[in-house]
Each structure stands twice: as C-alpha cells, then as structure tokens.
Chain A
C-alpha cells in the first residue's frame, strides 16, 4: 500500500488526468457552456452531424410535442427495425429497440412484445421529461437500428458495444472499446459493469481490458478474448472524431461511435464532459497526450495530418502489452 503522496507522484508521472484537471484545464477553457445543448440534445447533435457530412444512424422521425405522437404508427410502420430514444436521456435510459413485428404488435430486441399503444405511452412519458436530467421537457428521436459488425459477436453479450474516442482540438487522443456485460445490464458504462478495452490508436487493436477495475483477458459472459481484437474501419473512426471539435465548437469532447455491418462507423452521440475511466482501460494518462497536442500546436494541422499525428504520437507501435491476469 502506497501512501497518498507517493501514489500522487506516480500518477502524475504517467500523466494521469484527474477530475479537477479535466474541468479546470480542459473543459472550462475549451468548452463554452452555451454549446452544451448541442451535445446534450441528441437530436441537435444528429442534425449538426448530418449537416457536417458525418455518418450517423439515419433519422426516421422526431417528436417534440405530444400531439405528434398519434402519428407514430403512420410514420414508423414502414420500418422493420428502429430505435426510439429520448433526446436528453443519459446512460441508455428510455431507449427502446424494435426488431420486427409479432402480428399487430412490435417485437423488442429483448424478445418481449409491445403494442403500439404501449410505445405511444412510453413516448408520451419521455416527452414529459422522465428520462431527462432535471425533468425538463424532452424530444424523441427514432432512428436506424444499427446492425453490429460481426467482429463484436464473440465479445458481446447483449446491448450496444461502442467505441469512445476523446478528441482534443481536432486530434483524437485516446480510444476505448466498451462492451456491455450481463452485469451491466446491456449498458456500456464502465461504472455500471461494462468492460472497457483500450485501443491502440496506430493499429486499431484492443489492448488490455478492465472490468470493475480489474484487468481481464476474456469477456466474462462469452469467455472470448477481448484484447488483441482488431477493430475494422478504425482509421475512419479517427477521422470522424477529428472532425467533431470543429463541428461543435467544443475543444474537448467525447465521441461515441458504433460499427455497422454495412454502413461502417456511425457517430451516435457526443459528450462535453467525457469520463476519465478511459485512462484505466488504456493504462495511460490523458494529461501527457493533451499536453503533447498543445505543445505541437497540432490543432492547426489539416484533418488528415491530425489523425496521422495521433497515430504517430499516441500509438503503441509494438505488440499489444499483455498484462498478467490477476
């Protein structure tokens, strides 16, 4: 057991970014408060991304007023699969995934059956702000249901495997793959029990993974290896992330991406205060990398060179570090 100041010195040596450092040195100076609604409201983020030409799951319909809800069936009946999301929801609450029909009813991804009336009631609640922070009025978006790339099949139990990238001034600085487990109830948040695997920016290969603060080699549900997985289209993901700062005006942003079987990487949402757990998954500190970006003035480079800078500077350039299981 190390004494606190020894711990602090070690963590400082690896460039670990703490909550105060993130807020004081990166979020406050780079993320103006007035831009937060752009990323807190998923509907706004989506329109912004579409305008910027970023790949996002196609928007089927959106609802802002409860009077619009009666058109739900008319608008959505033509889609076999779709996802209903509250625009201000967080942590995956209030999301309903529809996969096909059972007679006149809807079939959920969890194989339960739901009537159109039930769906409308759910949407009504969501509009009144049940899932939004602070309970203010919300909006609903209905979008394309992502077909996950086959590469995740062995290491996905249920829910949405996604890739979180941190982009600072147009440079992707760190990435991790988040895999829901049965313990996380299909959610991709690390503190809820999802697995986080760091990703080598140069090769797109997963490094060691953490689960509940422990290093793991296998997915606890499927027992497949989670490290050393090569993520397809990873360079494209880096390019998407590199464009998000200019698009939103936020200098420090978390980009959540999913990988579709046919459409490739799609941007799901952005986060103006991305968490710090990504550092545990990568076993590396964000502070060093952020300072490297500032020192090199990398934000003035064109997009392609920013990605190249990230791969050159932050990639591992050697076989993935294999940590001993403990």
Chain B
C-alpha cells in the first residue's frame, strides 16, 4: 500500500515534470544544449533619398511572418524621420515623414529571419471585391482569351494557373502576351500581369514580393511570385515555370502592386537589400519568440529575472542535482560521508576555489583543525569550549592562508575568504566526533570519502550542461523528486554491500 502510494506519486511528479519539459523543449523550442545554434538570416534594407526640399514622405513595407519563416528583432533606423506603422491591405507599412528635408536622407530597416516549423496556413481572408483591375478594355479582352485557352488545357485551378504562367513566360510568347507585357519582362511585371488576368476572370490573385534567403549578398534582387486563392487558401506559384514549387528559402515581404519604396517629396537614389547568414543560439531565438508572443512559459521563467538573481538561481538550481547524486551515492552505491548533505555544501564551496585548489585548501585547513583538536584533547577541555577554540583556530588559519597567499601574489588563496567558513568548522566538528567514537582510521576514511563525494558532486553541479538544463527546465527537479522517492523505497543491496558480504555468496564448503 505504502509502495503503491509512492509509485503513484512518483509517476505523477515525473509525468508533470517531463510533460512540462517536453512542452518547453519541443513546442517553445528551448534547447537542451546551451550553445545549440540555428541558422538565421540577417536582412538589412537601406533606402537613400535626395529630398526636394520641404516635406518628405517615404513608405516602406514591414516584413511579416510566413508559413515557415519568422521575423525577429525588427528595427527601423531613421534618425531624421518620424515613424508610424499602419496596416494597409495585406501589408504593414512603415511611414517615415519629415517636414523640412534637405539633401540626402537615409533610412534603414533590419531584422532577423528564423526558420520555423511549418505552420498550417490560416484560412485566408479574401480581399474585398471588386478587385482592383488596371487593364484597359482591349487588354481585358486579351486577358479573357488567355484565361480561356489556359482553362481548356487544364484540369483544375492549380494547373490552370500553371498553364497561364507558362504561357506568359515561355520564350515563344504569343503576340497577345507581348502586347500585354510590353518591354518589361521582369518577374515583378509577370506576377502583376498574371494577377490582373486572373482578376479579370473573377479569380482572386495577388503578386507577392520578397527575397530568396538562399542567395546572400550585400545587394540582392527582390523576387516576385503569385498567390492565388484556391479553396480559401493562398496558393503560391513561382514565375519560373521550371520551378513550380515555391522554394522554402523564399521570404515574402509585401503583397500587391505597390512598389517597394514610395517616395513623396524627393527622389529615390537607391534601395538596397543585403542578406547575411548568422548563427543564432536556439536559446536566444526561443526567448525572443516567446517574448514576442508573450508566452507564459518564457515570461515566468528564470530568464525573466534580473541578471544578479539569475546567476544566483543558476547555482541554486544545481543543488537538487547534487543532492540527488548524493542520494544515489549513499543509498545505491553505499558511500558514506560526514553529515547528511555536507558533501553537497563542500561541493558548493569548491565553486569558489575550483576543484584542485578546493581539495588542497580543504585538506590543509581540515588537517590543521584536527591537529589543533588533538592538542586540545590532551588538555582535557570540556566540549563546548573545545569546539569554540577549534573554530577560532580555524578562522585564524584561514586568515593566515589568505594573507600569506596575497603577499605571494598567489591569486587563488584569496578565494579562501569566500570559502564558506561554517561549512569547514562543521565538517571539522563532525569528523572529530567520528574520531572520538570510531578512532582516527575511521575519521580519515570518512574525511576522504566526503572529499570524494564532494568532488563528484562538484563536477556534476558545475558542468555547464547540467547547470543549463536545470536552469532552463526547473521542472526537471520534479523528476528528481520522483526518482528520489523511488530510491527512498529501494530496499535492495547497495553496491558496497555486495563487496562487504561477498564471502556469503560463495557456496558453503
């Protein structure tokens, strides 16, 4: 009954901890390795304008998320302008305005594009009818003909659009197509025209403009493609007929026929887009995404704390790990140290000194303290006075070590001042009690064993991956609690007992 209770409790705690962990790791994207990186692209757009003098208005498009790419860390740098952002159709437009503009003006926007797990496209909101049609009557007639011939050679909407795009881009374009396209045969023009043709025939379509992230450089060409509303979803079509599927590296920036930059009251000198590939830690990415979406998990995590408290918790959260290791070493392996959690405290103290120095200092102060104690023993002092005298001697000893090592410009020694004093004195007291009760051999054995356990705990607790995992996923402590409960009901042998009782395992003679 008691066991069942423990198992159920452990299972619930473990499920809770692992569930939260899985959610944070797989859904929110907090990485298991602190330094795990993910590729991202930094996109920068620069606009240079020569002002006519007087009021100047520049309109840029603000990028948004697409099905597999997320925009993070968007910044606009336009020191001379007033900046407002407003939605406009499917886009968000950044309006830069200044009343008295003189000479050359520059504005920049910069952002990071992160790959993201594919999102299910939302049901699209169709744009209001009637759609804007810019073709004249003659052109509309041609458009109807083109649509009809494509319709005849296709089976459904998707193939219809493909055929239409093929007809618009193939080298042996018909006379009609040439008439519609004119001299401009850019992707932008083709996408725009295709949208118009489809609109004339009551199909909802729009041109999309963006960049190909696969082509990095300081001056990249914008790409254009077409989106057609099919079954309530926007279906993308590339203009190049040999590449019917839209590459995942295509990043949609703005939609519609409007040019990328609209300048009012000046002359656009240059607009340049540069794309560079950067490595971003997954941690940073997850935290920024979480911050933007105001996610509960990242908002209520240690990452939301001020830096000093964050560092404190980075240490504190490793204590459960150390204590758990101690439980394993004591109840499953069977090592014994001083006190119950003393080795974990000693391990914490090692953080200040590093392992090797910690052991040297610890051994030095401890053995000196025990020597002092041995001498006092000779004087037959009563217990409390004896312990007090030992404590004072330990403090003097530590002071001496600190001052001498400082004089020798021996930097490590200084940290002995931070070396928790109480931990040392308590350890000396405990070990001297063992010395009294079980003799020096046992006391030295216990002291060494404590150091070994503390060393293990230190190595475990100070490992960066361990620190990161328990800092990023504090719910894993629940899993440790569950395991500790299970070990608490483990009544099998400890490892050292197998050695201790090995005689009995031999068959009786």
- Report the separation of the CA atoms of residues A84 and B212 in the bound assembly, to the nearest whole angstrom: 94
Complex contact B493–A135 (CB within 8 A): no
Given A21-B491, A91-B438, A192-B439, also A129-B504 (CB < 8 A):
no
**Nearest CB of A to B121, in Å:** 56
Which residues in B have their C-beta under 8 angstroms from that of A279? 501, 504
- The interface centre, meaning the residue of B436, B492, B493, B494 with most chain A CB atoms within 10 A of its CB, is B493
Complex contact B490–A20 (CB within 8 A): yes
Identify which of A11, A121, A284 contacts B498 (C-beta below 8 A): A11
Complex contact A280–B437 (CB within 8 A): no
Given A7-B505, A283-B508, also A18-B491 (CB < 8 A):
yes
Which residues in A have their C-beta under 8 angstroms from that of B437? 90-91, 93, 133
Complex contact A213–B504 (CB within 8 A): no
Closest Cβ neighbor of A7 among chain B residues: B498
- 0 or 1 for each of A9-34: is its CB under 8 Å from B? (1 = yes): 01110101011110111000000000
A319 CB within 8 Å of chain B:
no
A323 CB within 8 Å of chain B:
yes
Closest Cβ neighbor of B496 among chain A residues: A19
**Nearest CB of B to A128, in Å:** 5
B382 CB within 8 Å of chain A:
yes
- Report the separation of the CA atoms of residues A105 and B334 in the bound assembly, to the nearest whole angstrom: 48
Complex contact B503–A8 (CB within 8 A): no
- Report the separation of the CA atoms of residues A91 and B334 in the bound assembly, to the nearest whole angstrom: 22
Which residues in A have their C-beta under 8 angstroms from that of B331? 20
- Report the separation of the CA atoms of residues A192 and B442 in the bound assembly, to the nearest whole angstrom: 10
Please count the residue pairs between chain A and chain B whose beta carbons lie under 8 angstroms apart in the complex: 93
A321 CB within 8 Å of chain B:
yes
Given A25-B491, A91-B437, A128-B383, also A18-B497 (CB < 8 A):
yes
- Report the separation of the CA atoms of residues A93 and B435 in the bound assembly, to the nearest whole angstrom: 11
B433 CB within 8 Å of chain A:
yes
A297 CB within 8 Å of chain B:
no
A252 CB within 8 Å of chain B:
no
- Report the separation of the CA atoms of residues A90 and B501 in the bound assembly, to the nearest whole angstrom: 24
A267 CB within 8 Å of chain B:
no
Which residues in A have their C-beta under 8 angstroms from that of B498? 4, 7-8, 11
Complex contact A135–B505 (CB within 8 A): no
- Report the separation of the CA atoms of residues A284 and B489 in the bound assembly, to the nearest whole angstrom: 24
Complex contact B383–A285 (CB within 8 A): no
**Nearest CB of A to B342, in Å:** 14
Residues 46-103 (chain A) with a chain B CB within 8 angstroms: 90-91, 93
B502 CB within 8 Å of chain A:
yes
- Report the separation of the CA atoms of residues A25 and B433 in the bound assembly, to the nearest whole angstrom: 29
A131 CB within 8 Å of chain B:
yes
Identify which of A2, A24, A192 contacts B489 (C-beta below 8 A): A24
Which residues in B have their C-beta under 8 angstroms from that of A285? 504
B495 CB within 8 Å of chain A:
yes
- Report the separation of the CA atoms of residues A131 and B436 in the bound assembly, to the nearest whole angstrom: 8
Identify which of A131, A135, A276, A280 contacts B503 (C-beta below 8 A): A280
B136 CB within 8 Å of chain A:
no
B125 CB within 8 Å of chain A:
no
Which residues in B have their C-beta under 8 angstroms from that of A131? 436
Complex contact A213–B503 (CB within 8 A): yes
A123 CB within 8 Å of chain B:
no
Residues 409-449 (chain B) with a chain A CB within 8 angstroms: 433, 436-439
Given A91-B438, A133-B437, A192-B439, also A8-B492 (CB < 8 A):
yes
- 0 or 1 for each of B436-465: is its CB under 8 Å from A? (1 = yes): 111100000000000000000000000000
Which residues in A have their C-beta under 8 angstroms from that of B84? none
Which residues in B have their C-beta under 8 angstroms from that of A135? 383-384, 387, 433
Interface residues, chain B, CB within 8 Å of chain A? 331, 334, 380, 382-384, 387, 433, 436-439, 488-495, 497-498, 500-505, 508-509
A-B contact pairs, 7 of them (CB 8 A): A18-B497, A24-B488, A125-B380, A129-B383, A130-B382, A130-B383, A210-B503
Q: Other CB < 8 Å A-B pairs besides A20-B491, A20-B493, A25-B491, 5 of them?
A: A4-B495, A21-B491, A128-B382, A135-B433, A279-B504
